[in-house]
Amino acid sequence: MADLKSPTLIYLKGLLFLLLGLFSAGWLLVQAGSWQVAALLAIAIWAFCRAYYFVFYVIEHYVDPQYKFAGLGSFLAYLWANRQRKASTSE
């Protein structure tokens, strides 16, 4: 699949992600209907956003500027390769 290049389609994709998130979070809150669930959902969303930022910005800009991540799978492969490299040099 080719990279998405159209700004209009990129904005549409972002809007669809936002609507999907709002719908699913709203549906969860309707089903559970408690402030505790709302607070835990907000904390979970915030924590996942920070983790995403860590993977795609902090690592790339502060830990290893040479590596460009293409997705979470790429990040896991990067971690695995570094682990293997460190294990082989410590032997």
Neighbouring residues of 30: CB distance < 8 A, sequence distance ≥ 6 = none
pLDDT given for residue 68 in this prediction: 78
51 and 89 belong to one structural domain: yes
Same-domain pairing of 40 and 80: yes
The verdict on 46 and 19 lying in the same domain is no
Domain count, the chain: 2
Instruction: Based on the fold, state whether residues 3 and 14 are members of the same structural domain.
Output: yes
Q: Which domain holds residue 22?
A: 1-33
Give yes or no: residues 42 and 55 share one domain.
yes
Helices and strands in the chain, H and E counts = 3, 0
pLDDT tens per residue across all 91 residues of the chain: 678 888 899 899 999 999 999 999 999 899 988 899 899 999 999 999 999 888 888 888 888 888 777 778 888 888 888 887 777 776 6
Whether residues 41 and 21 share a domain: the answer is no
